[in-house]
Amino acid sequence: MPTQPIVRLGHPALRTPLEAVDGERLSDPEIRRALDDLVATLREAGSDGLAAPQLGLELQIFAYEVAEGDGRVAGAIPLRVVINPMITPHGHEQVADWEGCLSIPELRGLVPRHGEVRVRGLDPDGNRLDYVAEGLEARIVQHEYDHLNGVVFLDRMRDLRSLAYEAEWRRYLRDAGEEPEPTALG
């Protein structure tokens, strides 16, 4: 399966709010290829999630997955591919945690996110998705959803003073007992 280069901050696709994918087009070869590239590149990059604009594709699609044994979640977060997502907060809890982004390499920052979100959209077969994500999954979903609206995690930080290079973050800021190390969210 081919993988595609990940575009970085400055590429217009990362700052362009996208039109929804026409549900009738899900079987088009162009869309199927985009879906395959997204999943293959997500796995190759070893991140938690990836959104289509990060491949320079102006499609409202993101994918995420956390493998069994990762240690940050009980069990695993199975692969989800979500098309035309709509995200709404579920409850009022806000949680701050560290995020990184494949399109903003080597940086980490503290980002407040909703603790739980309701996710609606379509799966690659055109079936309706409607589920609640919490914890790490909720954070991944919000990070990836933002990519579809031209928003990156830097925009969500309340205080840019927590921004750090990964090496320094690992050395000075990360909780000493924290295992395993968080990865880039996507």
Say if CB 52 and CB 58 are below 8 A apart. Answer: yes
Nearer to Ni ion, 35 or 102 (CB): 102
Q: Count CB atoms within 10 A of the CB of residue 130.
A: 9
The verdict on whether 44 is a catalytic residue reads: no
Nearer to Ni ion, 124 or 186 (CB): 186
Both structure tokens of 45: 């990059």
Both structure tokens of 28: 């088009």
Say if CB 94 and CB 107 are below 8 A apart. Answer: no
**Candidate segments 94-102, 107-115, 119-127, 168-176, binder of Ni ion by CB under 5 A:** 94-102
Both structure tokens of 111: 């980002």
Q: How far is CA 144 from CA 72, 84, 148, 172, 176, in A?
A: 18, 12, 7, 27, 28
CB of 2 to Ni ion, least distance (A): 21
Site string for Ni ion, 101-140 (x = CB under 5 A): x---------------------------------------
Nearer to Ni ion, 85 or 186 (CB): 186
Considering the candidates 44, 144, 166, 179, report the single residue annotated as catalytic. Answer: 144
Cα-Cα-Cα-Cα dihedral sign, residues 46, 57, 122, 30:
negative
Residue 6 within binding range of Ni ion, rule CB under 5 A: no
Nearer to Ni ion, 26 or 139 (CB): 139
Chain residues binding Ni ion by CB under 5 A are 101, 186
Active-site positions read 144
